[in-house]
Amino acid sequence: MSSYHLSLLRSRGWLRAGLVAAFLAFPVTSIGFGLGYFGDDWRGMIQALEFAGGGIVLSLTIGLSAPWVLRGFAVRAREEDESRDSEKPASRPASGAAAAARHGAPSTPGGRH
């Protein structure tokens, strides 16, 4: 069984990071609007809403697409172990005489020694 070595592949973590970044777009937008970056009239309000919407879309796009991109670079962690296991010589099966001796049965047919 193989597993991935890179823990950044978990999609839930990237989705949560994208959601947090999307929610951070609201306070950043309100601070920018309060400092007058977008203007004081209704055009400034529209610019602030466009800025917040762009931040939300950008952060969700990165949060949802990053795991897919990183999966392309993923390396299986147990690949070396599997190749090492395949190089081991196979153990020989027990012969009929050795198996019979372990079970106390006669080793020759007919019970003669």
User: Is residue 97 one of the residues assigned to a domain?
Assistant: no
* Helix, strand, coil percentages in the chain from 3-state DSSP, rounded to 5: 70, 0, 30
User: Is residue 99 one of the residues assigned to a domain?
Assistant: no
Q: Which domain holds residue 52?
A: 1-82
Q: What is the pLDDT of residue 65?
A: 84
Give the pTM: 0.51
Q: What is the pLDDT of residue 85?
A: 56
Q: What is the pLDDT of residue 13?
A: 74
Which residues in the chain come in under a pLDDT of 70?
A: 1-11, 73-113
User: Is residue 103 one of the residues assigned to a domain?
Assistant: no
Torsion of CA 32, 36, 39, 45, to 10 degrees: 40
User: Is residue 44 one of the residues assigned to a domain?
Assistant: yes
User: Is residue 111 one of the residues assigned to a domain?
Assistant: no
Q: What is the pLDDT of residue 14?
A: 75
User: Is residue 59 one of the residues assigned to a domain?
Assistant: yes
Number of domains present in the structure of the chain: 1
